[in-house]
Amino acid sequence: MSDDRFKHGWETVNRINAEGAQRQWDALSAIAPDFARWIVESAYSDVLGRPQLPLRDREIATLAALATLGNAPGQLKAHVHGALNVGLTREEIVEVLMQMAIYAGVPAAINALQIAGEVFAERGL
Amino acid sequence: MSDDRFKHGWETVNRINAEGAQRQWDALSAIAPDFARWIVESAYSDVLGRPQLPLRDREIATLAALATLGNAPGQLKAHVHGALNVGLTREEIVEVLMQMAIYAGVPAAINALQIAGEVFAERGL
Amino acid sequence: MSDDRFKHGWETVNRINAEGAQRQWDALSAIAPDFARWIVESAYSDVLGRPQLPLRDREIATLAALATLGNAPGQLKAHVHGALNVGLTREEIVEVLMQMAIYAGVPAAINALQIAGEVFAERGL
Amino acid sequence: MSDDRFKHGWETVNRINAEGAQRQWDALSAIAPDFARWIVESAYSDVLGRPQLPLRDREIATLAALATLGNAPGQLKAHVHGALNVGLTREEIVEVLMQMAIYAGVPAAINALQIAGEVFAERGL
Amino acid sequence: MSDDRFKHGWETVNRINAEGAQRQWDALSAIAPDFARWIVESAYSDVLGRPQLPLRDREIATLAALATLGNAPGQLKAHVHGALNVGLTREEIVEVLMQMAIYAGVPAAINALQIAGEVFAERGL
Amino acid sequence: MSDDRFKHGWETVNRINAEGAQRQWDALSAIAPDFARWIVESAYSDVLGRPQLPLRDREIATLAALATLGNAPGQLKAHVHGALNVGLTREEIVEVLMQMAIYAGVPAAINALQIAGEVFAERGL
């Protein structure tokens, strides 16, 4: 059953950001392998992989949360890629991050948009 | 032109949560009237009222941000109402807030869900 | 296998704060039952219930985290009970929370100590 | 020498908010007496009582910090009193807190202004 | 009228940190041009440019907020420049940031002071 | 008496992380010498150096706080060294930081573990 959760979680991870996920898995497995597995099973399978909300909507929520936290630039970058991968447009991502100026302050929104800008440049958008 | 911005902002506010907005306006106008007006114009007209993203998607982002902040229970409650008003279901709201356990921690998610539960009870959902 | 995780998680919860856990379970199950179960399995069984660190040490970390967050007074209160239940003394809890003045600021430490004071009074310490 | 620091800290506390300080001292002394003393000596004498910056400027900084934190309403209320006591006007306090909308987000500013409004009402401003 | 707001906002920006503002404008305009304009109009004209509080006092509040947030080093650096530009001395800036140890914790104060130290070195102070 | 506090504080600092402390002292003394001294006396002597809790337990609390804050990577790195120096094992440190996923979110835990991984690599653990 844990194998099913891992498989479902890994599929969810790959739909969002396959390349980033593999890199994250490799780095984290070397330090805390049980935690790397827990993230796939308990975060990506049990929560993010639930069918009650489409991944596009989930990525809106994730972008908002990470921009609000303001201290996880690597994860934000990975999820800007993820948001594009599950169907959000560049314009929609800009709207979500710009909106964070209202809730988390202007610096949080600026810093998130600069990270998004790096992703847009990498992907030639 | 400021009048247009105020009018557009107030319409946006009312689409999200008319009752809560009036109460907030009355309370804030008594202390900082220019700021009450700024919120309608600069937040609700210039940002949240932009047509590039539907209000349903914006409320997902707002719920995620407020649950992540964890220190604005009044605003979170108002936006759970708002989310329902612009078309999110009870089930979708629960998904967004539950997902915040991954990004902002379990206490943030629990406390947000308890606030949402109060709104669901008020509305007989 | 999920049943084993639930059972192990529930045992861990009960070792920390049986009364608080039941109340939390009842409240959360009415709003988000899958999340209530996830907390028992993924938080209390998979993380807090791991044998690599004794619960006494884990409660020191939890008190520090909750005092630093500063926006989860209910959870902090439950874990002051929990810390006492797994063997920390009143004096040790005061030391941990006082230390948070250095990392999270004086208001965070004061507010956490006031919550701890309520628990000490409830338990006649 | 510690007595001098305590005396100087207590004088500084009293210039800011004598009534609030006594209440805070009484409450905290019952739980963590060494910490209550540390706050007077290390916070109010060694830092806030330094002559390099007038208390009026220090209270601007304190209001900004507490509004940004957003999770210390008791301390914010005490320092709105303090700000008035050391010479800031109601209008200046509103400006500082309104400005926090830019740095910490609109909910943080609204919640801080509502606390300030309570103080203004108590003092008949 | 929007043109007046932009003009007033840009003048305010330039009084605080002309060089940093131009660089920020260029970077942000390439990603989110409407947001770049919104910051000038809604943040710098409507809030920071209000005459009710002098820019010197506003920069004290901004330094306190950014040091407390702790996750906007670029903005903090720009506003240490800004604080010096509107009349705060090196010594006063150190006092404000040191005071943040009390409200936001020692690491926040240390990290802010190290950023300030970079600015002091750049300007030969 | 201040000399005794400084001496006791410096001894405490050195038990935790002598090399990091000297580097921190040198950097901070050049910008804010009174604050560098205050940290040794008021933080390390008066709080962290209190005998009521062993340094091993204090470092658990410090790791939890710094991982929760998520914006003090330099201090977290110094205290992973410190935790090892006062007797925590690599495995115990991983447990504490992994546990922070529950309280502060998964990104906070991942980022803290990556910092810990750098320290483990430096020390050949």
CA gap F119, F125 in Å, rounded: 9
Tell if the CB–CB gap between D103 and A106 is shorter than 8 Å: yes
Chain centroid to CA D74: 9
Q: What is the pLDDT of residue F1?
A: 56
pLDDT digits (tens, 9 = 90+) for E78-125: 999 999 999 999 999 999 999 999 999 999 999 999 999 999 999 999
pLDDT digits (tens, 9 = 90+) for C35-81: 999 999 999 999 999 999 999 999 999 999 999 999 999 999 999 99
* Residues from chain A contacting residue D102 (CB–CB below 8 Å): 105-106
pLDDT digits (tens, 9 = 90+) for E4-24: 999 999 999 999 999 999 999
* CB contact E110 to D (< 8 Å): no
pLDDT digits (tens, 9 = 90+) for C81-99: 999 999 999 999 999 999 9
Which of B97, B110, B117 is closest, CB to CB, to C30?
A: B117
Q: What is the pLDDT of residue E1?
A: 56
- Percent of chain C topping pLDDT 70: 99
Place of tokens 């209270």: D59
User: Which helix (H) or strand (E) covers residue D96, if one does?
Assistant: helix D90-104
Looking at every residue in chain B, the average pLDDT score rounds to 97
Geometric angle at alpha carbon A112, from A73 and B11, rounded to 5°: 145
Tell if the CB–CB gap between D92 and E48 is shorter than 8 Å: no
CA gap D51, E86 in Å, rounded: 21
User: Is this structure's pTM higher than 0.80?
Assistant: yes
- Judged against a pLDDT cut of 70, whether residue B1 lies above it is answered with no
Q: What is the mean pLDDT of residues A23-31?
A: 96
Q: Is the dihedral of CA F21, F23, F28, F34 positive or negative?
A: positive
B interface test, pick of A95, A97, A100, A110 with most B CB neighbours within 10 Å: A95
* CB contact E64 to A (< 8 Å): no
pLDDT digits (tens, 9 = 90+) for A43-97: 999 999 999 999 999 999 999 999 999 999 999 999 999 999 999 999 999 999 9
DSSP B47-72: IIT-TTS-HHHHHHHHHHHHHHH-S-
DSSP chain F: -HHHHHHHHHHHHHHHHHHHHHHHHHHHHTT-HHHHHHIIIIIIIIIIT-TTS-HHHHHHHHHHHHHHH-S-HHHHHHHHHHHHHTT--HHHHHHHHHHHHHHH-HHHHHHHHHHHHHHHHHTT-
Contacts of E124 (CB under 8 A, 6+ apart): none
* Residues from chain D contacting residue E52 (CB–CB below 8 Å): 91-92, 94-95
Q: Which residue of E has its CA nearest to C110?
A: E103
Which of E30, E32, E66 is closest, CB to CB, to A107?
A: E66
Tell if the CB–CB gap between D72 and C107 is shorter than 8 Å: yes
* CB contact B53 to E (< 8 Å): no
- Judged against a pLDDT cut of 90, whether residue C1 lies above it is answered with no
Q: Which of D98, D65, D68 is nearest to D82 (CA)?
A: D65
Tokens of B122: 């008020």
CA gap D21, C125 in Å, rounded: 25
Give the number of beta-carbon pairs within 8 Å between B and E.
16
ipTM for the predicted complex: 0.97
What's the Cα-to-Cα distance from C97 to each of C53, C108, C113, C116, rounded to whole Å?
A: 20, 9, 6, 9
3-state secondary structure of E86: coil
Subunits adjacent to chain C (3 or more Cβ pairs under 8 Å): A, B, D, E, F
Q: What is the pLDDT of residue C57?
A: 98
Contacts of E18 (CB under 8 A, 6+ apart): none
Residues E41/B2, Cβ–Cβ less than 8 Å: no
Q: Within chain A, where are the H helices?
A: 2-29, 33-38, 55-69, 73-85, 90-104, 106-122
Q: Which residue of C has its CA nearest to D24?
A: C110
Q: Is the dihedral of CA E35, E37, E43, E48 positive or negative?
A: positive
Give the number of beta-carbon pairs within 8 Å between A and B.
93
- Judged against a pLDDT cut of 60, whether residue A105 lies above it is answered with yes
Q: Which residue of A has its CA nearest to F94?
A: A32
Q: What is the pLDDT of residue D90?
A: 98
Q: What is the mean pLDDT of residues E23-44?
A: 97
Q: What is the mean pLDDT of residues D48-54?
A: 98
Q: What is the pLDDT of residue B75?
A: 98
* CB contact E27 to A (< 8 Å): yes
E interface test, pick of B3, B38, B40 with most E CB neighbours within 10 Å: B38
* Residues from chain E contacting residue A94 (CB–CB below 8 Å): 31-32, 35
Tell if the CB–CB gap between D110 and B30 is shorter than 8 Å: no
- Judged against a pLDDT cut of 80, whether residue C2 lies above it is answered with no
CA gap A5, E61 in Å, rounded: 49
- Judged against a pLDDT cut of 80, whether residue A3 lies above it is answered with yes
F interface test, pick of B98, B103, B111 with most F CB neighbours within 10 Å: B103
- Judged against a pLDDT cut of 80, whether residue F4 lies above it is answered with yes
Q: What is the DSSP letter of A23?
A: H
Chain centroid to CA D12: 11
* CB contact D111 to B (< 8 Å): yes
Q: What is the CA radius of gyration of chain F?
A: 15
Residues F85/F16, Cβ–Cβ less than 8 Å: yes
Q: What is the pLDDT of residue C94?
A: 98
* CB contact C36 to B (< 8 Å): no
- Judged against a pLDDT cut of 80, whether residue F39 lies above it is answered with yes
* CB contact F101 to A (< 8 Å): yes
- How many angstroms separate the CA of residue D77 from the nearest CA in chain A? 22
- Judged against a pLDDT cut of 80, whether residue F69 lies above it is answered with yes
- Judged against a pLDDT cut of 90, whether residue E45 lies above it is answered with yes
- Percent of chain B topping pLDDT 90: 98
Residues E103/F18, Cβ–Cβ less than 8 Å: no
Q: Which of D25, D26, D60 is nearest to D43 (CA)?
A: D25
Q: What is the mean pLDDT of residues A17-35?
A: 96
Q: What is the mean pLDDT of residues D60-79?
A: 98
pLDDT digits (tens, 9 = 90+) for C21-33: 999 999 999 999 9
Q: What is the mean pLDDT of residues F43-66?
A: 98
Residues F114/A78, Cβ–Cβ less than 8 Å: no
pLDDT digits (tens, 9 = 90+) for B42-96: 999 999 999 999 999 999 999 999 999 999 999 999 999 999 999 999 999 999 9
Between helices A55-69 and A106-122, what is the axis angle to 10°? Answer: 130
Lowest-pLDDT range of D31-35, D50-54, F18-22, F70-74: F18-22
CA gap D94, A103 in Å, rounded: 19
